[in-house]
Amino acid sequence: MEVKLQVENEILDKIKHTFHSAEVSIPRKQRVEVKLRNDLIHPFLAYLKDTLGFKHLSHISTVDWLEEKEIELVYIVMNYDNLVEVIAKIRLDREKPEIPTLREFWPQVETYEREIHEMYGVNFLGHGNLTDFILEDWEGIPPMRRDFDTVKYAKETYFNRPGREDAQDVRTTITKKSGEEIPELAKVYSVRHLE
């Protein structure tokens, strides 16, 4: 096992040597996971890209940790030479998530940041083009946050319009027509149950 993870361990050592505060681990072959302080993400990705040759940005993902009042940004970058992927994670304050943009690193970052701004409300300082990407003219809390109530939104927006009084619950309609009961098992996931 030790021999197999040689490349991963080399990368781990280099990262640890340069960024002392980073928590580095190897979850499996071809993966290195790094937990960073927020202000270090810029120098860290610059170091990975320019010095260690991690040229390919696989994607940027976001996880909302509502209970911990934090928003996690996950950067996944890959090196085409040794085929290792580094998963870099930072955690921002959920009340006021702000971080300088990474636009100058990879051109596709612009799209990712626009989407994360729209869906999670993270402000990327210096981005310059944080306009609507998928949504149009959205107000209120960003929709991908955990405290956004989809059922409430759907009811207000779609269900109670005139002409849709049956609230579009197919199960209820079928039950009325056929006289059969909805099984207990299915009720758990029924829209009616969520009311």
Partner 1 sequence: MREKETTIYLGPQHPGITGNMMVKLKVTGDTIVRAETHVGYLHRAFEKLMEARTWLQCFPIVCRICVPEPDPNEENLSRVIEEIEGREVPERAKYIRVLVLELSRLATYLLWMGGQSGSMGLYTMPQWTVGDRDYILDLFEQLTGGRVYHMYIWPGGVRRDLPEGFGDKVLKVMDYLEKRLKDYDDLLFNNALFYKRAKGVGVIDKNKAQEWGVVGAPLRGCGIKHDVRIDEPYEVYDKLNFIVPTYEGGDVWARAMVRRQEFEQSISIVRQVIENMPGGDFYNKIPNPLNWRVPPGDAYVKTESARGEFGYYAVSDGSLKPRRVHARGPAYVHGVSLLERILQGANIADVSFIMNSLGTCPPEIER
Per the CB < 8 A criterion, the answer to whether 172 and 152 are in contact is no
Which stretches of the chain bind partner 1, using CB under 8 A?
27-28, 30-31, 55-59, 61-64, 74, 76, 80, 83, 85, 87, 106-108, 110-111, 132-136, 143-144, 146, 148, 150, 185, 188-189
Least spacing, CB of residue 21 vs partner 1, in Å: 21
Choose between 176 and 194: whose C-beta lies nearer to partner 1: 194
CA 146 to CA 16: how far, in whole Å? 34
Decide whether 125 or 134 has the Cβ nearer to partner 1. Answer: 134
Q: How far is the CB of 18 from partner 1 (least distance, A)?
A: 22
Q: Which two tokens stand for residue 177?
A: 């027509």
Least distance between partner 1 and beta carbon 97 (Å) = 16
Q: Which residue number, 17 or 28, has a Cβ lying nearer to partner 1?
A: 28
Decide whether 39 or 154 has the Cβ nearer to partner 1.
Answer: 154
Q: What is the DSSP string of 14-59?
A: HHHHH-TT-EEEEEETTEEEEE--GGGHHHHHHIIIIIS---EEEE
CB atoms within 10 A of CB 132: 11
- Quick one: CA dihedral 96, 78, 16, 14, positive or negative? negative
Distance in Å, CB of 53 to partner 1, minimum: 10
